[in-house]
Amino acid sequence: MADTGIFATTAEVQRKIGLDANATANTEAYINQFISEAESYINAICGYNFSDVYADLNVDVKALLKMAASNLAAIFVLNYSLSGFQSMREAETRIDVLTYFFNKSIAELKTKDVINFIKDA
């Protein structure tokens, strides 16, 4: 099976997951699904279909999309089962950090400056 995501890859998501993630969810098939869902969600909440114009986007915008999609997909993997963690606090901290950077990247993607940057690129 190969990566099917546009914004992020399985390896990029796995680097953010860290150790102790559920072995079932931490597979390419599951991560491909999570990335697809994340990409659709990002497009919907930003009100712009980045997927359709991805090849033409500036490298900085692509990096923001990668950060948002990989963070959200990593949250999905971690949330699949938290039983592998030595403490719930460890899992919660990882999810909190990923959520923080997902929210920050989405906030940037939704700004008029980024939208103008995309149109002018």
Q: Where are the domains of the chain?
A: 20-120
Measuring CA to CA, how many Å separate 68 from each of 24, 64, 104?
Answer: 23, 6, 8
Residue range 71-102, pLDDT digits in tens:
999 999 999 998 888 888 999 999 999 999 99
- The pTM for the full model equals 0.92
Report in angstroms the alpha-carbon separations of 96 from 2, 6, 29, 92, 99. Answer: 29, 24, 24, 6, 5
Q: What is the pLDDT, as a whole number, of residue 36?
A: 98
Percent pLDDT > 90 in the chain is 70
Q: pLDDT per residue over 4-18, tens digit each?
A: 999 999 999 999 998
Longest distance between any two alpha carbons in the chain, whole Å: 48
